[in-house]
Structure 1
Amino acid sequence: MALRVDDVSKIDASKDTWTIVVKVIQLWLTPSYSGSKLPSSLEMVLMDSKGFKIHATIRRTLVYRFQNQISEGRVYQMSFFGVCENGGDFRTTCHPYKINFQMHSIVRVMANTSISGKPFSFMALSDVVFKEPDTSFLIGILTGSSGEQEFEKHGKVQKRITLEIDQDGVRVEAAFFGKYVDEIVR
């Protein structure tokens, strides 16, 4: 009997028995701002084989349980998680819901499965300039790039690209290294 896998695009808060196969395209620890040495959460952006993305959170009390099971760039089967509305500022995906891991959530590596596609979604410049974009999403206008560069560090050749992003007149340069250069240049 084949496993029933749900589309990320269909996820809503109607149940907690979803089973998805997704690639972790971004993974980061959110630091605690209360002075604790423990992270506040482990955050992820997940993408399915059709390119649909959803944000997932593992709260502080469960980071220890899942942190060593999940790596950026790998494909997993995930099931038995909570789903809530994706609200607030600084949302990473357009999905109306987000995933919250629970103690009984299950994560399994899918060793012989690959998911390809573009991990980033950029708004058209005309939409940013001529429409009022929803600023609760992480948006900015890419205004410059150094292009892919190589440099030597500790005897190894590494890649780097620097991007200039403008958000409401504030310009920020962000440097990306190694595998992240490949993600951007693709």
Structure 2
Amino acid sequence: MAERFDLLSDIHQQKMHWYIQVYVIRKYEVPSYDDRSVINSIDMILQDSQGGRIHSSIPKKLMSTWGPRIKEFSMYNMKNFVIMDKRPKVRASQIRWTLSFCNRTEVHEFDLPAFPLEPFTFRTIPEILDPAVVTESELFGK
């Protein structure tokens, strides 16, 4: 029997158990506000098979566990997150939630060649210059 995965666009705080299948299309370190030489978290942009994207964060206390194991442009099955209503200053997706890793989070790498990957949203120069299309608060437009 095939496993059922949740779409990122369906995620909300009223449900506790989500099981997602995603590409990590961007992974980056977030420095501390007080001391830029100290890494505060590892943040990621995840993309599902329908092209939905969501922001995810690995807090400082779990960086040594998950940081080295998760790579950009790799595919993962993930479950057991804390769903947070945390909108970063610069948003990477239209989804309002952030998936935060916790001690119970499970991540398993997989390879599925048919899984679509669209890491970039290309725009023409006139679109980039049009504030109705691309706002300063978004990394990716519609």
Opposite residue 121 of structure 1, the aligned amino acid is: T
Q: Which runs of 5+ in 2 are unaligned?
A: none
For structure 1, the 5+ residue unaligned runs are 141-186
Higher relative contact order (CA 8 A, sep 6+): 2
Question: Share of identical aligned residues, percent?
Answer: 28
Inter-CA distance 98–123: structure 2 relative to 1 (3 Å threshold): farther
Deviation of 1:88 after TM superposition, in Å, equals: 4.0
Higher alpha-carbon Rg = 1
The 8 Å contact of residues 69 and 107 in structure 1, kept in 2 or not, is answered as no
Partner-residue secondary structure (3-state), 2:102: coil
RMSD: 2.5
Instruction: Read off the aligned partner of 1:103 and give its amino acid letter.
Output: N
Q: Within 5 Å, which residues of 2 pair with 1:162-177?
A: none
- Cα contact 2:23–2:117 (8 A) shared by 1: no
- Kindly indicate whether residue 92 of structure 2 is the aligned counterpart of residue 92 of structure 1: yes
* Structure 2 Cα separation of the partners of residues 130 and 34 of structure 1: 32
TM-score, normalised to structure 2's length?
0.83
Cα distance, 1:34–1:10 mapped onto 2, change above 3 Å: same
Deviates more, 1:115-124 or 1:11-20: 115-124
Q: After superposition, give the CA deviation of every residue in 1:22-49 in whole Å (9 maximum; x if it has no partner).
A: 0000011112343385410001001111
Conserved? CA contact 2:80–2:102, under 8 Å: yes
Aligned residues: 139
| CA offsets 1:32-75 (integer angstroms, 9 cap, x no match) | 34338541000100111111111100111111111122011110
TM-score by length of 1: 0.65
Q: Deviation digits for residues 145-186 of structure 1, max 9, x if unmatched?
A: xxxxxxxxxxxxxxxxxxxxxxxxxxxxxxxxxxxxxxxxxx
Q: For 1:62 and 1:42, how far apart are their aligned partners in 2?
A: 9
Q: Secondary structure at the match of 2:9?
A: helix
